[in-house]
């Protein structure tokens, strides 16, 4: 009887196991849900890459699962998803992730010597501008290579005139310092060009033509500036007189000729700090637009314009923002324009209309969802959580990040100005 009872128990246990849909004899914990098969319909775990036939998961990890990549199989990633993170291939977001080239390109791929020219203060004027042999000036990289990308590190003394399509990328802290007087630090020298500059500091322009960035009249170019700092130039930070200017998450400070001057051009300026520019005799303070009938975009949103000064002559210049626009009025949104000498906003009639903005102390009050209340800016132009600009942007705004890349909104609505209070 005891023997018969034991047989019945063992038979029942085996039946229970076989009834389990995840039961796989010999598999990890006899559980085919953990990896793979046997004759009962499960799949056996992989033991090598040759068993991983999917192009999206070609690598066998230490747990016997086919994945996109592992720390020991980084080469499985490439193209626009070259980085292995948690066994998945993702786009690069920082230069340091691209260990073989130190160049993360805007499309998320890692650069190579075939498409990136390298500029470093450790380089020479004779070097070929490769990763291992960088050249010492951006001018040399522009003139002696056809690379669509130029990667800059350290402080470079140079004044550059860009005459071809190019994207200039910079390491954190990389600076382009003017090497000549009375000339722009960066000039665009040809019509129809598409130029982008990311993460670079531009400084030291001296004398009357010492602009930080200049696109002169007659040159119609597309210029994109992202996370660029333009500071300490004797003329204007940006003087733009033809084409389309895009400036996002940039900082313009201490430029004696004023912050940004745009004439007869399309423009998109968002999430910028334009502060402490101009002098009592400069014709431009923070931002001035002088415009005829020019195609869109005409965007000036989520900017903080503060502590700029200039002549108060309403014909020739402004202090915070000046608009001289014909024939159509332009509408700007979600800006802080505060403490700019004696005038925050100079315009003729309805040349510029602001909504959901904080303009003062001498600005308009209580119209178009406007504020005229101290935004309580600190020395870095952040606002505190008690600022009236907190959660006061247009409720329909869809600005995803602020000037430093923090997500918007933190709270009920976006904050007015360049920073979102955390």
Give the number of residues written for the chain. 422
What SS3 class is residue 119?
A: strand
Percent of the chain residues topping a pLDDT of 70: 85
Q: What gap in Å lies between CA 354 and CA 364, rounded to an integer?
A: 10
Distance of CA 252 to the CA centre of its chain: 15
Across all residues in the chain, what is the average pLDDT?
88
Q: What is the pLDDT of residues 273-305, one digit of tens each?
A: 999 999 999 989 999 998 877 888 999 999 999
- 10 Å Cβ neighbour count for 376? 15
DSSP helix/strand/coil, 297: coil
Rounded Cα distance, 124 and 303, in Å: 40
Query: Whole-angstrom Cα distance, residue 178 to residue 206?
Result: 8
Check residue 295 and give its pLDDT. Answer: 83
User: Tell me, what's the pLDDT at 26?
Assistant: 45
Give the residues across from 267 on adjacent strands.
245, 298
Distance of CA 331 to the CA centre of its chain: 24
Residue-level pLDDT at 323: 87
**What single-letter DSSP state applies at residue 44?**
P
Q: Where are any strands of DSSP class E within 19-74?
A: 59-60, 66-67
DSSP class of 373? S
Rounded Cα distance between 360 and 307, Å, is 11
220 vs 95: CA distance, rounded Å: 31
More confident residue, 65 or 31: 65
Of 160, 81, 80, nearest in space to 117 by CA: 160
Residue 205: pLDDT band by 50, 70, 90 thresholds? very high
Count CA atoms within 13 Å of residue 413 on its CB side.
16
Give, in order, the Cα–Cα distances in Å from 10 to each of 7, 16, 32, 111.
Answer: 5, 10, 22, 63
Query: What Rg do the C-alpha atoms of the chain give, in angstroms?
Result: 29
Q: Is the pLDDT of residue 21 over 80?
A: no
Q: What is the pLDDT of residues 206-232, one digit of tens each?
A: 998 999 999 999 899 999 999 999 999
- Collect all residues with Cβ–Cβ distance below 8 Å to 422 and sequence separation of at least 6: 406, 410
State the pLDDT at residue 296.
85
CB 223 within 8 A of CB 250: no
pLDDT in tens, 126-147: 999 999 999 999 999 999 999 9
What percentage of the chain exceeds 90 in pLDDT?
Answer: 70
Judge residue 44's burial from the number of C-beta atoms within 10 Å of its C-beta, 0-12 exposed, 13-18 middle, 19 or more buried.
Answer: middle
* pLDDT reported for residue 7: 41
């Amino acid at each position: 009887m005891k023997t018969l009872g034991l047989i019945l128990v063992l038979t029942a246990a085996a039946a229970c196991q076989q009834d389990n849909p995840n039961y796989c004899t010999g598999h990890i914990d006899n559980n085919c849900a953990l990896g793979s098969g046997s004759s009962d319909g499960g799949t056996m775990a992989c033991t090598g890459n040759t068993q991983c036939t999917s192009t999206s998961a070609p690598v066998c990890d230490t747990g016997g699962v086919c994945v996109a990549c592992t720390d020991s199989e980084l080469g499985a990633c490439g193209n626009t998803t070259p980085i292995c993170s948690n066994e998945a291939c993702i786009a690069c977001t920082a230069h340091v992730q691209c260990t073989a080239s130190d160049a993360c390109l805007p499309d998320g791929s890692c650069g190579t010597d075939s498409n990136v020219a390298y500029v470093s203060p450790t380089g020479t004027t004779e070097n070929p501008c490769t990763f291992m042999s960088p050249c010492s000036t951006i001018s040399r990289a522009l003139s002696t290579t056809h690379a669509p990308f130029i990667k800059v590190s350290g402080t470079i003394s140079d004044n550059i005139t860009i005459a071809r399509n190019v994207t200039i990328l910079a390491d954190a802290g990389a600076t382009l310092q003017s090497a000549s007087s009375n000339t722009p630090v960066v000039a665009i020298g040809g019509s129809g060009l598409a130029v982008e500059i990311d993460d670079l500091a531009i400084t030291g322009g001296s004398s009357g033509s010492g602009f930080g960035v200049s696109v002169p009249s007659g040159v119609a170019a597309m210029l994109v500036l992202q996370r660029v700092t333009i500071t300490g130039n004797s003329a204007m930070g940006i003087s733009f007189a033809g084409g389309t200017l895009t400036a996002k998450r940039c900082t313009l400070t201490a430029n004696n000729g004023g912050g940004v001057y745009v004439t007869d051009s399309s423009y998109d300026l968002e999430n910028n700090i334009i502060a402490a520019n101009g002098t009592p005799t400069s014709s431009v303070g923070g931002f001035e637009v002088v415009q005829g009938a020019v195609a869109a975009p005409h965007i000036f949103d989520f900017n903080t314009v503060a502590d700029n000064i200039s002549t108060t002559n309403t014909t020739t210049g402004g202090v915070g923002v000046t608009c001289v626009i014909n024939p159509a009025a332009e509408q700007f949104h979600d800006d802080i324009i505060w403490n700019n000498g004696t005038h925050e906003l100079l315009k003729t009639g309805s040349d510029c209309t602001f909504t959901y903005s904080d303009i003062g102390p001498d600005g308009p009050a209580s119209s178009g969802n406007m504020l005229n209340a101290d935004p309580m800016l600190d020395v870095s132009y952040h606002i505190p959580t008690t600022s009236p600009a907190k959660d006061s942007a247009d409720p329909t705004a869809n600005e995803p990040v602020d000037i430093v890349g923090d997500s918007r909104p933190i709270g009920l609505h976006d904050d007015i100005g360049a920073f979102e209070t955390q």
